[in-house]
Structure 1
Amino acid sequence: MAGSCSSATMAKFNVGSVLVTGSNRGIGLGLVKRFLELPNPPEWIFATTRELDGSQSKEVMELALKHPNLVVLQLDVTDPNSIKAAMQRVEEHVKGHGLNLLINNAGILWVTTMENENIETMETVYLTNTVGPLLVSQEFLPLLKKAAQQSTQTGLSCSKAAIVNMSSVAGSIKVVPVWEFEQIPSYRCSKAALNMITRCQSLEYKDYGILCTSIHPGWVKTRMGTEMALQTVKQTTQEILKLLSTFSEKENGSFVGWDGQIYPW
């Protein structure tokens, strides 16, 4: 599916506005770069980071100096006030046009085992990886609804209005991959729960014209994925954008891999 996407399809992929959480590095930053490289880049790309003036945000801040359509916003997905402030900034920029695409990418992983998992790690990881995307989606829902209402497109698509939750096959209850390599129960549980949020969103928001899906980005060479990973950020984010350009009703409420495979819950 991903590999068969033509450049013509990408040329027609026209997203008016997109917001990507956790865009200061890794997959989030990679997605921002891929959107900037599109034949028809979005009018607005909102990249969020927890700390605007931190050294980790340097690259995305420098990108914004070169691209007037890229706006870097402070957003902590665990802080409702921070989310609300970011939403208001987005609203000021889109000027009544709504937000077409929300990518809930921000996430954390703590290396834990069944033996040392505890309240702190479970709460912190769950709050960021599961509750965070729920809160961000709730806050931006009015802007997503507005984009869907204003769209002339029929059906569901990422160009019209969509919520994409960055999940992981590590959260698949059926597969539970590489258990012997890394147990990480808090991370697995948080992503399994995020997948249920995606399913709930897909049922609740379909009638508003909003597509909701979970994506497994693969094992990527990032700070979280480590250098042992199989894919580069560029490779993965290129394939994810190809996927996004093809999504329709049939992907609503699904769990899709960067490679186009449908993964089991």
Structure 2
Amino acid sequence: MAARSVLVTGCNRGLGLELARQLLGRARVFAACRDPAAPHAQELRNLASRHPNLVLVKLDVLNPESITEAARMVEDQLNGLGLNLLINNAGVYSKVTLETVDSEEMVHAYKTNLVGPLLTAKAFLPLLKKAAQGSPEKGMSCRKAAVVNISTVLASLEKSPETFYKPVISYRCSKAALNMLTRCQMLSYREDGILCAAIHPGWVKTDMGTQEADLTVDESVRGILTVLSALSEKHNGSFLNWLGKPIPW
């Protein structure tokens, strides 16, 4: 994508880890997760030990202070430059139905899948603006400045009848709200030259997607990065899948 710098949340495993891995040859990568020192982040630490352009960032999307501190740390690392791309990937998924979901589960999903990306984009907005202002690029692109929210086809209101074989109520509702956030960000940030989009990564073989899924993480991420490299002003505020095909809201 030729972006100078990218920050990805939820990098300790699955899609986030693979995004960090495949972005390494294209940009300076800030790989964020709740606790980079934890045992479940060992693979991420191993990757960072081999690649000096991969910087580990402690960022808990449930903790506003952690998000603010992460933004300060990244700003120091960028040394006066802006952040070209923020990928809000961290999320939670629970197999709850209308019969089994409770308020605690619903609030947790909204805090992680919606409020976390909202506060993260807000904290990194000054760096995104700086990247947009300092870029020689015309129009909009992920090389200039962009916020990409990892969403899901399960958040599509129009497609819900055909996808409801997986009720996953808290996941659906919180990701549908994330889609609305994406549209609001598009309307708010476009004057600053910041592109905003929501991306469905497909049904991926991860802890979240299970091994019954259609896509490997490698296939999904290759598709996502191809889509991101082609995004332009006409895609601002769009909802696309990993192949670049539009998904109805």
Q: Given the two structures, how large is their TM-score scaled by the length of structure 1?
A: 0.92
1:53-83 per-residue CA deviation (whole Å, 9 max, x = no partner) reads 2111001111111111100111101111000
Greater relative contact order, per chain length (Cα 8 Å cut-off, separation 6+): 1
Cα distance in structure 2, aligned partners of 1:154 and 1:178: 39
Per the alignment, residue 82 of structure 2 pairs with 98
Aligned partner of 1:54 in structure 2 is: 38
**Which residue of structure 2 lines up, in the alignment, with residue 242 of structure 1?**
226
The 5 A counterparts of 1:147-226 are 147-176=131-160, 177-180=162-165, 182-226=166-210
SS at match of 1:261: coil
1:28-53, Cα deviation, whole Å (9 max, x unpaired): 111111111x3xx21x2100111122
CA distance in 1, matches of 2:94, 2:4: 35
Residue in structure 2 matched with residue 31 of structure 1 by the alignment? 19
Query: In structure 2, how many angstroms separate the alpha carbons of the residues matched to 1:184 and 1:164?
Result: 23
Counterpart-to-counterpart distance in 1, 2:198 and 2:163: 20
Q: Deviations over 1:173-208 (max 9, x none)?
A: 11014312x211110000100000000000110010
Match of 2:103 among 98, 119, 130: 119
Look up the equivalent residue of 1:93 and give its one-letter code: Q
**Residue deviations 1:70-123, cap 9 Å, x none?**
001111011110001111110111011010000000000111011011100100
Q: Distance in 1 between matches of 2:35 and 2:29?
A: 18
Distance between the aligned counterparts of 1:99 and 1:83, measured in 2? 15
Normalising to structure 2: TM-score of the pair?
0.98
CA distance in 2, matches of 1:65, 1:113: 42
Equivalent residue runs for 1:74-113 within 5 Å: 74-113=58-97
What is the root-mean-square deviation of aligned Cα atoms in Å?
A: 0.8
Structure 2 Cα separation of the partners of residues 213 and 55 of structure 1: 32
> Residue 163 of structure 2 aligns to a residue in which SS?
coil
Q: Identity over aligned residues, as a percent? A: 52
Letter in 1 for 2:4: G
Local SS of the residue matching 1:212:
strand
Q: Distance in 2 between matches of 1:184 and 1:233?
A: 21
Q: Does 1:70 find its partner at 2:58?
A: no
Cα offsets for 1:187-242 (capped at 9, x unmatched): 00001000000000001100100000000000000000000000000000011111
5+ unaligned residues in a row in structure 1: which ranges? 1-12
